[in-house]
Structure 1
Amino acid sequence: MSTDHDLQIPELHPIEDRDLDGVCRFLQANLNPKVSLEEWMRAYRHPWDPEKPNNGFMLRYQERIVGVFMAIYSRQTIRGHVEPFCNPNSWVVERDFRKYSNLLYRALLAQKAYHFFITTPNPVVAKIFSRSNFQYMPDQITVLPCVPLRWSSGRIIDNGRDFENFLDATSYQIFNDHRDIPWLHHVAAGSPEHYVYMIFKRVRLKRMNSIRILHVSNPDHFLDYRHLLAIHFFRRYFAITMQIDRRFLSQTPLVSLNRQDGQPKMYFSDHLGAADFGYIYSESTALDQ
């Protein structure tokens, strides 16, 4: 015998820009109240893909939002080719409607044109995505000391006004796309002909100041200038260490430690590898959490 509860079948809708106010209020109330409504809204209004099809999908029951699965879309240049990316994030459904959660999941993954990556899935979500052939990214983080182990030449650029004449078009576009996010920092080291550009956050590791690198334009150039960067980070931010995902590096520096990242990260693509998926253009940069 069916009950009223059994008949509560929500409707699936794409999340358009005009829906973001209500959707972000739902996220603040049901997922993370520490993130302000303004921050939630801003996370999904970056113009990272002018042709984005939606901001994810939502479930509505009697005009009320009862579940969402958000998505951040972007166009990124990988080895000279512009590729479409989708970063699913912030999946939350009210308890009475959780049996319909897969409607959101299937709707997102039905968009076959995209490379998918998720940077903060909980273990339950990671298990669900693994059933759809998502691959786990390597979970090793390399920790480097912010001490000058040897002399290194080159310039440090950390003033946004100087980046235009220092970075190539791809790196400058990445800088422009992320420059207004207040918790992100930007630095370049080297020369216009041979440089590394980085996006990072200031964090704590073992109760000490540390630099968490979220994007590195050229891993080999990062290794070339790591001593110059170490001096800069120590002097500017009193940082003791800098951290970078091991998958971004072609080799592990001798003076370094590897630690395991407890946060799983996953991707799905027909031709890109784990090193092609970073933290830029995702919830890991769009939200401060």
Structure 2
Amino acid sequence: MQAKKTRRTSVDPIMDTDVAAVADFLSANHNDRVPWAQACSKPPWQVDAPNRGFMLRDGQRVVGTLLALYSERMVAGRVERFCNLGSWCVLPEYRSRSLSLLNAVLGQEGYNFTILSPDEGPQEILSFLGFRFLDTTSALVPNLPWPTLPGRIRISADPDMIENRLAGSELKLYRDHRAALATHHLVLLHGDESCHVMYRKFRYKGAPLFAIILHVSNADLFRRALVPLARHLLIHHRLVSTLVELRLVDQRPRMSFAVTNWPKMYRSANLEPRQIDYLYSELTCVPW
């Protein structure tokens, strides 16, 4: 009788030299539309990242991954370190080792952890491990060709215009994300007021369908500019609707429908839900 082959699996950090193998694995087993080699590489912001996440290997073959994006940010006057958990993919015959990847990431001390697109299955495990759900109550705004008054609200995607109208921490956010693969930028202008908007496109069957708002720097101006913004996104980007969470804009905009966005979770010893956002994450860097 032939002896059963014993698998020798190991959990290892994903380093720069591993990116090509991890990208090939994710393209073959997770989503072949994502440019994984770019998404797994160094993020567009400056950070001393310990790794790109962790991988499960059988010998030298990649059989599972849990990606991670790291950042350091000023929150309430102190530097906070963040680790955003990304694509968690393990081949079926190795699923019993899935938690070893999660334990490796969470075993890194001193981080606030976020996971912004958890599948339904892992949510119970994450809750048991101390993760809490964010309130993702949202408004869905139809993007219609509304008539607008000329000269009142201006909208620009021009990088020079955005650079000129932003300052301080908001300018840093823009510069950190201007090369992020999944992020699009607009600036809304009204007199001396400005609002920096970051959004990503939701695709269905390969075609862009609606805009998902990730960041709003001026909630009041955003709400006042919603009609021309919806028109701009429809006419210039062929996006038929806009989805924005109420936690980003304080209250439900007019002419919108109440919906619930997909779940998002975080774990932190220091931070409250209002201090958690969607920047420096897979939502800005991984175009699904």
TM over 0.5: yes
Write the deviation string for residues 122-161 of structure 1: whole angstroms up to 9, x where unpaired: 1111121111111112232212344659868343232012
Question: What is the correspondence of 1:1-289 to structure 2 with a 5 Å cutoff?
Answer: 4-5=4-5, 7-35=6-34, 39-44=35-40, 45-78=42-75, 81-146=78-143, 153-181=152-180, 184-190=183-189, 193-203=192-202, 210-237=210-237, 239-261=239-261, 263-289=262-288
Change (3 A) 1:78 1:146: farther
TM-score of the aligned structures, taking structure 2 as reference length = 0.84
Write the deviation string for residues 164-219 of structure 1: whole angstroms up to 9, x where unpaired: 211113222222233234553211112585321011234479x9964321221232
Aligned positions, number = 281
Change (3 A) 1:14 1:240: closer
CA contact (8 A) 1:48 1:73 kept: no
Q: Deviation at 1:163? A: 1.8
Q: Tell me, in whole angstroms, the C-alpha distance in 2 between the residues paired with 1:150 and 1:22.
A: 51
TM-score of the aligned structures, taking structure 1 as reference length = 0.84
Change (3 A) 1:103 1:241: closer
Write the deviation string for residues 11-48 of structure 1: whole angstroms up to 9, x where unpaired: 2211111111111111112212232xxx1021122143
Q: Tell me, in whole angstroms, the C-alpha distance in 2 between the residues paired with 1:176 and 1:91.
A: 28
CA contact (8 A) 1:14 1:57 kept: yes
Q: Deviation at 1:115? A: 1.5
Change (3 A) 1:269 1:149: farther
Q: Unaligned stretches of 5+ in structure 2?
A: none
Q: Which amino acid aligns with 1:129?
A: L
Instruction: Select between 142-151 and 100-109 the one with higher mean Cα deviation.
Output: 142-151
Change (3 A) 1:192 1:53: farther
Instruction: Select between 214-223 and 72-81 the one with higher mean Cα deviation.
Output: 72-81
Q: Which amino acid aligns with 2:39?
A: A
Q: Deviation at 1:92? A: 1.7
Change (3 A) 1:115 1:193: farther
CA contact (8 A) 2:201 2:208 kept: no
Q: Tell me, in whole angstroms, the C-alpha distance in 2 between the residues paired with 1:239 and 1:57.
A: 35
CA contact (8 A) 1:118 1:266 kept: yes
Q: Unaligned stretches of 5+ in structure 1?
A: none
Q: Tell me, in whole angstroms, the C-alpha distance in 2 between the residues paired with 1:241 and 1:102.
A: 37
Q: Deviation at 1:242? A: 2.2
Change (3 A) 1:10 1:127: same
Q: Tell me, in whole angstroms, the C-alpha distance in 2 between the residues paired with 1:194 and 1:120.
A: 33
CA contact (8 A) 2:181 2:285 kept: no
- Give identity over the alignment, percent: 31
Q: Which amino acid aligns with 1:162?
A: M
Q: Tell me, in whole angstroms, the C-alpha distance in 2 between the residues paired with 1:60 and 1:235.
A: 47
Instruction: Select between 67-76 and 176-185 the one with higher mean Cα deviation.
Output: 176-185
